[in-house]
Chains A and B, each alone.
Chain A
Amino acid sequence: MSEQPKFKVTIDNITIEVPAGTTILNAARMIGGDVTPPAMCYYSKLEGSGGKCRTCLVEVSKGSEKDPRPMPKLVASCRTTVMDGMEVKNITSDKVLDARKGVVEMLLINHPLDCPVCDQAGECHLQDLSYEHGASGTRYEFDRRTFEKEDIGEYIQLHMTRCILCYRCVFTADQLTNKREHGILERGDHAEISTLLGKSLDNEFIGNVIDVCPVGALTDKTFRFKNRVWFTKPVDAHRDCPTCSGKVRLWMRGDEVFRVTARKDKWGEVEEWICNDCRFHKKEVKDWVIEGPSRIDRHSVISQGHYVDTVKQPVYIDRVIGKNPKLLLDIHKVSDVNRPDVDLSKIEGPAHSDDFKKNKDN
């Protein structure tokens, strides 16, 4: 047990040595970059996850050094462990790319195209996946499945139509909380995430299901419709929290904290779980110690408009003319958007028409 044998595995012609028992997906993640298969249901921090969405299918062109026959079918890389001398083809195999395109089409069959309304847009894994691997049109002509709306508590909004049944939230509730209150009910096309008999999810770590959800099926109700993620600025911050690590990412606009999430690594997985108190109740800058702007991949839409390492040029016009120049237009005097007297982030749920009316009278 102390001496773990090392296996040599070649993925897309890149060879790496990994400990025995590593899955192909994790070996590919050690290499990183384009050879990593996408994963919608696998989550390295959740035991037992994976094997459901089939987006991580790869071709094994050589089983191992001892048995060099290829595997007959494409295998799910998150559930297949490496063998010594195994050769795997991911993006170099047309079969894999074709199968992945089919899987994306299957995932999108019942997924509503409501990205303009969905709060996950911009950080949605299904959006990225279908952009990279999917077809631009659908061949499905029937009505998409619909569900009755279910209220699962005051903090989490469930949109069952968007769910791809990855089971991540079920594993999260199982492994983080002592009593799971939601699960998958029914079978087949009727399968849905639900709490039996309309219970609400109120465990103090249940907010993490929002972060693990790869699509917009579980979203933060306190952030609902407040802003688009790419207009808020992610900032790493921490606080002394008695229940969790307190290491979070704040999504800010100006001095307002619009949303608090856990920090995510480059695979979109949570680094450290955070508690509901940090996530839903600490929406003020003074609650947090700010560490600095988060690293965001520059290909992500979230990095738009965030100019890092820019030096503001000093303006000398006031010294030349001996006074501050007259401001010709104070935008806040004219504009109704982002008014200093309206704090959208302080409203409990999503804003409604009367929230704006009420503020106009004041």
Chain B
Amino acid sequence: MTAAPAAPAEPEDLNALDDEAFRLHVRRWIEANYPPELRHPPKRLHWKDNKVWYFKLAEKGWLCPGWPKEYGGMGLSPAKQIIFTEELERWGCARTNDHGIVLLGPLIINYGTEEQKRYFLPKILSGEHIWCQGYSEPNAGSDLASLRTEAVEDGDHYVVNGQKIWTTLAQDANWIFLLVRTDKQAKKQEGISFLLVPMDTPGITVKPIINLELHDEFCEVFFDNVRVPKRNLVGQINKGWDMAKALLGFERIYLGSPRQSAYALKGLRALAEHMGVWEEPEFRDRYARLRLDLEDLKAFYGVYVAKLRRGETLGPDVSMLKICQTELFQRIADAMLEIAGENAGLLGPIEGNRDLNPTGLYIQARPATIYGGSNEIQRNIVAKNVLGLPG
């Protein structure tokens, strides 16, 4: 190993750097500090495997790029946050158990009481609290607002009964944030509240779900008379929906990042070379199309990044980005399978080479058009909220 070049002094204000200088600064640190054996993990890592990276980021003060500095975050502008994420993706950094960082932290900062901020935020920064998100239910997926897990008042507690599903890495978490129904009479979006619950509360059962990657990334979480102190309510009672929804727009630009497709396209090229079809005219035409789709996606993504840079908030049209990215990712994965010959049936990578993994990518690409709001729902959003079509 060569010695890392001496790191330049940490700038006072990262936001003051121009974008390129900031990008290189972040890149240099990631490359010097990210555990090499964890690059481009083929599956989402559990806490026991990703915590080393979580703590490195925490130690550097870079765990929470979007949080204001006063709460221990980096206080980055939205445009700088995008660059930060792009650099993590570029190096193939594993996602940590980041629900506290990405979703809960900002929600508490915006809507929590002073006491909640003082109690919860430092414990996210220290890795003491690992959060998971309890939104979807078996009968409330695309139609999330129809959720039925209920919280009923009982003295200074709520009593929670119901079931959540697709709870990412619930088996690693010691806290869960929940959307629960607190008013059954109100219109469905107006009777929902936001609750914070320790996972060791009696009455909670976690059951991992094995997905098509044969990985236990998701869980079902069952609530049987789970008593939650009223002080664990965030924001006002029955106003949980609006708070949760305010955070979803930001998710869509991340799901629209071209990095996933760019990584897949590199894999397609490597596979085409391995299979000996790289020079074939019919393959080159197909590859050129996908490559152009990617270039246009990058430009399209740039439009939204520029909006953030100007300090604008993103509208419902960002749904188009999620549709473009995830479906391009799938088209690339589909192309890989089609040129792989009988290798398209292998359970693992070709010749054990992780860069030649058409079946892994084909399977991984399936849920991209389902999670984060299915592409059917995203198209509804475009039709109704962007184009103003009725229905």
- A is bound by B: no
Q: Which residues of A contact B (CB under 8 A)?
A: none
Q: Which residues of B contact A (CB under 8 A)?
A: none
